[in-house]
Amino acid sequence: MSVIAELAAFVAAANASGLPVAEQERLRLHVADTAVAALAGANIPEGKALQSLGDDGALAIRIGRQAAATRLTEIDDIHLPSCTTPSAGVLPVALALAARDERCDPGEVASAIWVGTELMTRLGVAVRGPQILYRGIWPTYLGAPVAAAATAARLFGLNEARTGHALSLAAMLMAGGVGRIHGAPSGRWFLYASAVAAGVAAAEAVRADYRGDPDILDKTWLADSHGIAFDRERLTENLGASSVYGALSMKPLCSAKQAIAAIEAFRTLSDRVPKEAIDKVRVRVPQAYAGMVSTRAELGARQSTMVSVAHQIALAALAPERLFEVDRSAATIDAAVAQFSAKVEVIADKNLEAFYPRHWPAEVEVEAGGDVLRQRIVEATGDPEHPLDRAGVVAKAHRVLDPLVGNARAEEWLKLAGAALDDRSACRKLAAAFAAGL
Residues 277 and 170 occupy one common structural domain: no
More confident residue, 301 or 419: 419
| Lowest model confidence (mean pLDDT) among 95-109, 159-173, 183-197 | 183-197
Does 82 map to a domain? Answer: yes
Q: Which residues 6+ apart lie within 8 Å of 233 measured at CB?
A: none
Q: Quick one: pLDDT at residue 258?
A: 97
Q: Could you read off the pLDDT of 266-304 as tens digits, one per residue?
A: 999 998 999 999 999 999 999 999 999 999 998 778 889
Kindly tell me if the per-residue pLDDT of 330 is higher than 80.
no
pLDDT in tens, 97-137: 999 999 999 999 999 999 999 999 999 999 999 999 988 89
Of 185 and 316, the one with more pLDDT: 316
Quick one: 214 and 341 in the same domain?
no
What mean pLDDT is reported for the chain?
A: 95
DSSP at 15: -
- In terms of domains, do 292 and 423 share one? no
pLDDT given for residue 135 in this prediction: 87
Same domain, 232 and 324: no
Between residues 181 and 153, the one the model is more confident about: 153
Q: Is the pLDDT of residue 56 over 70?
A: no
- Pairing, β 278-285 against β 344-348: parallel
- Both 220 and 346 in a single domain? no
Answer yes or no: do 373 and 420 share one domain: no
The CATH number assigned to the domain holding 216 equals 1.10.4100.10
pLDDT in tens, 296-324: 998 778 889 999 999 999 999 999 999 99
- The sign of the dihedral angle between the CA atoms of 243, 113, 146, 77 is negative
State whether 83 and 183 are in the same domain.
yes
pLDDT value of position 72:
96
Q: Are strands 278-285 and 362-368 parallel, antiparallel or unpaired?
A: antiparallel
Q: How many domains does the chain have?
A: 2
Q: Categorize the per-residue pLDDT at 55 as very low, low, confident or very high, splitting at 50, 70 and 90.
A: low
| pLDDT exceeds 80 at position 68 | yes
Show which of 356, 377, 398 is a domain's final residue.
377
Name which of 63, 89, 66, 92 is nearest 78 in CA terms. 89
Together in a domain, 298 and 372: yes
Predicted local confidence at residue 378, as pLDDT: 98
Question: How confident is the model at residue 134, as a pLDDT?
Answer: 83
Q: What is the pLDDT of residue 331?
A: 62
pLDDT of 43 above 70: yes
- CB-CB contact of 297 with 309 (8 Å): no
Handedness of CA 53, 59, 60, 64 (dihedral sign): positive
Read off the CATH number of the domain in which 312 is found.
3.30.1330.120
Q: Which residues contact 356 (CB under 8 A, 6 or more apart)?
A: 130, 286, 288
User: What is the pLDDT averaged over residues 203-226?
Assistant: 93
In a domain, 24, yes or no: yes
Whether 382 is covered by a domain: the verdict is no
**What is the pLDDT at residue 361?**
98
Distance CA 410, CA 294 (A): 34
Q: Tell me, what's the pLDDT at 237?
A: 95
Mean pLDDT over residues 396-404, rounded? 98
Range of the domain at 418: 3-252+387-435
